[in-house]
Amino acid sequence: MVADVSGFSRMMGVDEEATVDQIKEFHRHVKGLVEHFEGRVVDTAGDSVLGEFDSVVNAVRCACRIQEEQAAENTARRPEERIQTRIGIHLGDVIVEDYQVYGDGVNIAARLEPLADPGGICFSDAVFQQVRNKLDLSVEDLGLKELKNIEHPIRLYRVPPVGGSSSPPSASANARGRSAEVPRVSTETSDESVAGALLRPAILVPLTIGAFLIASPVILFPSGGALSTAGAILSSVMLGRVWARRSGRAGDLLLALGIGIASGALWTHWSRVTNALFVLAGLIVAASGVGGRRGKDTEPS
């Protein structure tokens, strides 16, 4: 995610000292929001901020929050003191070296930022496909665009500024019928309710099997806890999938799996050593999930 202040040179020409203070505050504010959404600020240069996230959903949530809070702050400022930010977002592999990130993923995000309206967001099709059913966004399909020094054209989407667009939509895009609306849902969850997600066959059937296995010593025959443990792990995986989908954090799936593995010690009638190994294995898996949720100790992709 690349965020850049629009009209920075003009602001410096009007009041250099006040602008520097505003940019410092902008950097501090954006850094706080990036970390809140489990990302990290890789670099700041002049009036721009480069952030990276393990979750593309969190990256877009962060960008939306930046623009919303910026718009709210601007209402209390005089027109010449207002800060308008453009944000570009791309999803792709990067090279991590000495706490910096490099590669086409970074270059494309930087090329998308100037294409956003002041106060708006521009992102690639790779981002759109990941967030289209998860976030509350109205987007304009810009079609395929050639980007400087990027080999292949990329399909782009633009989110208008908070409170309305500062520039009219592309006439050619409207003529082609390319404007697209993403379903309006909460920015904190997926577009399904919990009940709806649990009732999907892909989730409900394995959950039913898991519950049946957990109750197998009563329904079928004693199995030393093997079937019950398998049922607990299967159920935790299904619940973890729903949790991860709604939160946008892949680490929640591992966290749920770890809890399921650790609970195996409750169902078995084996030795204390075996039960201790179940708990230890579960804690290790759960800890991996917590690390993934924080998004600070894993290499970004």
- What are 23-64's pLDDT values in tens digits? 888 888 899 999 999 898 888 777 789 999 989 999 999 999
For 198, counting Cβ atoms within 10 Å of its Cβ (0-12 exposed, 13-18 middle, 19+ buried), the class is: middle
Which residues make up the CATH 3.30.70.1230 domain(s) of the chain? Answer: 2-181
| CA–CA separation, 233 and 235 (whole Å) | 5
Q: What pLDDT does residue 13 have? A: 56
**CA trace torsion 215, 220, 223, 229 (10° rounding):** -20
Handedness of CA 197, 201, 203, 205 (dihedral sign): positive
User: Residue 208: what pLDDT?
Assistant: 87
**Amino acid 249: pLDDT:** 65
pLDDT at 181 (0 to 100): 41
Which pLDDT score, from 0 to 100, does residue 189 have? 38
Residues of the chain with pLDDT under 70: 7-16, 98-99, 163-194, 218, 220-224, 245-251, 269, 289-301
Contact 104, 160 (CB under 8 A): no
Cα-trace Rg, the chain? 24
Q: Is the pTM of this model over 0.85?
A: no
Q: Is 97 exposed, middle or buried (0-12, 13-18, 19+ CB in 10 A)?
A: exposed
215 φψ region: left (φ > 0), alpha (ψ -120 to 50), beta (else): alpha
Which tens digit of pLDDT belongs to each residue from 58-84?
Answer: 999 999 999 998 888 888 877 777 788
Minimal CA–CA distance to 210: which of 196, 228, 198?
228
At the fourth CATH level, the homologous superfamily of domain 2-181 is: Nucleotide cyclase, GGDEF domain (3.30.70.1230)
For position 187, what pLDDT does the model report? 36
- Find out whether 181 and 128 touch, Cβ atoms under 8 Å: no
Contact between 101 and 42 under an 8 Å Cβ cutoff? The reply is yes
pLDDT of residue 56: 92
If you ran DSSP here, which 8-state letter would residue 261 be given? H
